[in-house]
Structure 1
Amino acid sequence: MPKVAVYNKEGATVGEITLSDAVFGAEVNPGLLHEVVQMYLANQRQGTSDTKTRAEVSGGGKKPWRQKGTGRARQGSIRAPQWRHGGVAFGPHPRKYGWTMPKKARRAALRQALSAKLASGELIVIDSFELEAPKTREVVSLLKNLKAEGKAFIVTAEENVNVYKSARNIPGVRANAARNLNVYEVLASGKIVLTQDAVAKVEEVLG
């Protein structure tokens, strides 16, 4: 079972924690991770783009000119796609881009993502991190002490509004609760910082 050091918010080692091999020691399947990330990104798409067809554009009820005898090409409506201000022939319409995957596969991918972070030395455990009020400089100081500047992902056991508000002001830094973890956020972050309570929560859900 993997063991990692536990740090305090000053960056000093205060102990050691043994991680669950089932959660943090999973074999990585790149194909599964890719599929889950693609699913996440597709589900973020709004799919609200819309264009009007010739049936939806106003006007064009009258035939522009008679069918024969003018020498010009036959036309049935000035709102046909080839006309200026006409409808769009094959434009986008509202649709859903997302899809779903079995919960078992999603959880397996999350275990693999966390295992990959641990294997690459990008998983950091801290004893605790609480803020009485939103203070961005506290998060900046924490990440500097842990040498986790740049892209970082802070994970708390429960939703912590103060930590979330403090982290969102820093480019590349995210914060979320353990129950809201997803594969994309884990893989997209450079370092992932978990509190000890968050580790226990993750192991409870994924173990």
Structure 2
Amino acid sequence: MVNCVVRNWQGEDAGQAELDLKVANEENAAHIVHRALRRQMNNARQGTASSKTRAEVRGGGRKPWRQKGTGRARAGSSRSPLWRGGGVIFGPKPRSYATKMNRKERRLALRTAFTSRTEDLVVVEDFGDNLSRPKTKDLLEAMGRWGVAAGSKTLLILADKHDTIYLSARNVEKLKLILASNLNVYDLLAADQIVVTQSAIAKIQEVYSD
């Protein structure tokens, strides 16, 4: 169980939040998180790279010169991989990079990755009501009061979609906003600091507790 200090809109301590998630043991933690990260990155690949073999390149049906008597090496097609403009030997073809991983392992890796970032975790009270209208400046000032370093890669986790917060955060460089139900290993590991609302902590506890 991890206890986190909750900060209000002004950056003052406003209580405690508990996070109790089942994580992988210390021996296997790095391995299972690495597998989940590799799976996510592999599944993001399109796999659409494609090159043409000598059979697919346009032209080359005519024999360039007769077989014997010219003094040159024999050639049957100008689209040979040895020729300029010819086909490609063992070139890339469309393929799937999808990597499988059991659902229980994926969720265990996600919980482990999230718990490993508790030192960089900033828990705040729900602040949607403090933004009467979309205002990037107000959000940045609040993040400064919470102790988020300016210019750092920050992940902001909300329990539910909030239009005002989204509009205030979308133009901030190096700030990514996601919902608690859409957590992923890559974003958790890539961020320098993680800001999560109190309701998002409760939702993470509810959704990923098993």
Q: TM-score, structure 2 length as denominator?
A: 0.88
Q: 2:126 aligned with 1:124, yes or no?
A: no
Give the drift of 1:26: 5.8
Q: 2:71 aligned with 1:71, yes or no?
A: yes
Q: 1:19 to 1:42 in 2, by over 3 A?
A: same
Give the drift of 1:135: 3.2
Preserved contact between residue 4 and residue 16 of structure 2 (Cα < 8 Å): yes
What CA distance in whole angstroms lies between the structure 2 residues aligned with 1:39 and 1:132? 41
Q: 2:209 aligned with 1:176, yes or no?
A: no
Indicate the residue corresponding to 2:162 in structure 1: 160
What CA distance in whole angstroms lies between the structure 1 residues aligned with 2:6 and 2:158? 15
Specify the code of the residue in structure 2 equivalent to 1:123: L
Preserved contact between residue 169 and residue 177 of structure 2 (Cα < 8 Å): yes
Q: 1:138 to 1:56 in 2, by over 3 A?
A: farther
Identity %: 43
- Structure 1 unpaired stretches of 5+: none
Cα-to-partner distance string for 1:46-83 (whole Å, 9 max, x where unaligned): 22211111111111111111112211111111111111
Give the drift of 1:136: 2.5
- Structure 2 unpaired stretches of 5+: none
Give the drift of 1:133: 4.9
Indicate the residue corresponding to 1:17 in structure 2: 17
Stretch of structure 1 that moved more, 166-175 or 84-93:
166-175
Indicate the residue corresponding to 1:189 in structure 2: 191
Aligned-residue RMSD, C-alpha: 1.9
Indicate the residue corresponding to 1:4 in structure 2: 4
Q: 1:201 to 1:115 in 2, by over 3 A?
A: same
Give the drift of 1:143: 1.9
Preserved contact between residue 52 and residue 87 of structure 2 (Cα < 8 Å): yes
Q: 1:158 to 1:93 in 2, by over 3 A?
A: same
